[in-house]
């Protein structure tokens, strides 16, 4: 009888331990790659967008569905443009606002993500950078300005700008401004006049 009681108590203890472990595993994290949850409504973003960023953010959003603002510290761009556009479009579709913190900056793909915000605001001493893109095909390097204005390579970017609220004319104007503002290996930091002209803030 004593042995049976001991086995029962051991079984109960194991069940409770397993339950606690499952509960701990089910608890949402605070950090998902370059995204860190600040509170139920705010996420801090810091770092380069990569191939895992879209999955990281959508997972975060499942655990924190009240998120309505991304505060960006620094984002120099993206190592995966396709992932970046998917992530940025998801952010826009979820009705999330974007804000660049004091002394922060975005550039290249980071600027595209910033534009996903329903409301787009900035702090003090902020920089927003743009440049052309480049690619290599069969050992031959080419840049955006090598292609005719109506080339299919340009369309994904202009379509994205329209999806996040730009008119067709605004999307075209801003896109061609970016690819002419600086080469792919350089960056152009937008002036206040340019931010206003291309309706970057709202």
CATH of the domain at 58: 3.90.226.10
- Tell me how far apart the 2 most distant CA atoms of the chain are, in Å: 87
Number of domains in the chain: 1
Quick one: pLDDT at residue 139?
A: 86
Domain with 82, as residue range(s), is 32-130+182-197
* 91 part of a folded domain: yes
* 161 part of a folded domain: no
Q: Does residue 200 register a pLDDT over 50?
A: yes
* 88 part of a folded domain: yes
| Strand blocks (E) in 65-167 | 69-75, 97-107, 120-122, 127-130, 134-137, 140-143
If we measure between CA atoms, which residue out of 180, 165, 176 comes closest to residue 114? 165
Alpha-carbon distance 111 to 164, whole Å? 13
Least confident of 2-16, 54-68, 77-91, 96-110: 2-16
* 116 part of a folded domain: yes
* 144 part of a folded domain: no
Mean pLDDT (whole number) for 180-184: 97
Q: Does residue 173 register a pLDDT over 80?
A: yes
Asked if residue 64 lies in contact with residue 28, where contact means CB atoms within 8 angstroms, the answer is yes
* 112 part of a folded domain: yes
If we measure between CA atoms, which residue out of 108, 23, 117 comes closest to residue 70? 117
pLDDT 10s digits, 32-61: 999 999 999 999 999 999 999 999 999 999
pLDDT 10s digits, 154-169: 999 999 999 999 999 9
Q: Does residue 115 register a pLDDT over 50?
A: yes
* 110 part of a folded domain: yes
* 94 part of a folded domain: yes
């Amino acid at each position: 009888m004593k042995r049976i009681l001991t086995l029962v108590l051991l079984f109960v203890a194991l069940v409770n331990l397993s339950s606690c472990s499952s509960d701990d595993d089910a608890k949402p994290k605070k950090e998902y790659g370059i995204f860190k949850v600040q509170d139920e409504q705010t996420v801090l973003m810091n770092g380069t967008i990569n191939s895992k960023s879209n999955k990281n953010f959508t997972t975060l959003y499942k655990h924190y569905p009240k998120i309505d603002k991304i505060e960006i510290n620094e984002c120099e761009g993206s190592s995966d443009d396709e992932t970046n556009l998917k992530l940025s479009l998801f952010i826009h579709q979820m009705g999330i606002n974007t804000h660049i913190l004091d002394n922060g900056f975005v550039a290249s793909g980071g600027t595209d993500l910033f534009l996903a915000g329903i409301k787009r605001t900035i702090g003090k001493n902020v920089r927003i950078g743009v440049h052309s893109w480049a690619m290599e095909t069969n050992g031959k390097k080419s840049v955006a300005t090598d292609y005719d204005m109506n080339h299919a390579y340009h369309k994904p970017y202009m379509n994205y700008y329209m999806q996040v609220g730009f008119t067709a004319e605004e999307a075209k104007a801003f896109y061609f401004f970016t690819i002419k503002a600086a080469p792919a290996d350089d960056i152009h930091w937008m002036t206040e006049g340019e931010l206003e002209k291309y309706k970057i803030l709202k």
